[in-house]
Amino acid sequence: MPRQSYFITGTDTDSGKTVVTAGLLRLAARNGLRTLAMKPLASGCEQTPEGLRNADALALSQAMTESMPYESVNPVALEPAIAPHVAAREAGRRVSAERLAGFCRGAMMRPADLFLVEGAGGWRVPLNDHETWVDLVSDLQFPVILVVGLRLGAINHALLSAELIQRDGCRLAGWVANRCTPEPMAREDETFETLCERMPAPCMGRVPWLASRDPTAMAEEASRHLSLPLPGA
């Protein structure tokens, strides 16, 4: 079983979950750790000769040290770039927290020191008509790392997300601030300072805007602005 396992969620879509997840994988590798990662459910996939492929899942595959087939990294791949539960319904696919947890446990049978599972969207994005990511994380009992997109509304979105994660009975291991746009938001430093004062978990880093669109380069650069979660967090 992996020594440390975490679920990565965000304050919203495009908050920077994949950049941060890949960055943590690269940082762990530099520290001599074996790493695995999954994006068990992804919408917005592209048709390729090998089948549906998701850019985020491919970025995680490139960043982790251990090898897994794509189908193990992203077992539920959906083509439309819409809410996953809607895409699954339109594709006639059954998605449940229990099924996704089974995929995750299968990956956890592989040896690794760090195992990261990236969600889709934010904390309360539905998996189906009755379940959300909360049900998967509760089943796996993973601590949560929250990625906060630095844009207008970040303070409210971050504090509400952190409050819900804890109210849902899950552990918030830490949070990461990520700039989502080339230009800084107004009063970005003040926003970050407010989050540091009010968030109920340690800050694991502040990732600047990354100009490169190459996933490997982005992961490497992001890793230099991150710290690994504390053991047991």
Active site residues: 39
Residue 231, helix vs strand vs coil: coil
Which uninterrupted H or E stretch holds 177? strand 172-179
Among residues 22, 20, 26, 12, the alpha carbon closest in space to that of 177 is found at 20
What letter does residue 92 receive in the DSSP assignment? T
Residue 90, helix vs strand vs coil: helix
Structure token digits, residue 220: 């490497």
Among residues 2, 24, 7, the alpha carbon closest in space to that of 165 is found at 7
- Is the distance from CB of 107 to CB of 115 less than 8 angstroms? yes
The residue with tokens 């008509």 is 129
Distance CA 233, CA 142 (A): 10
Distance CA 159, CA 155 (A): 6
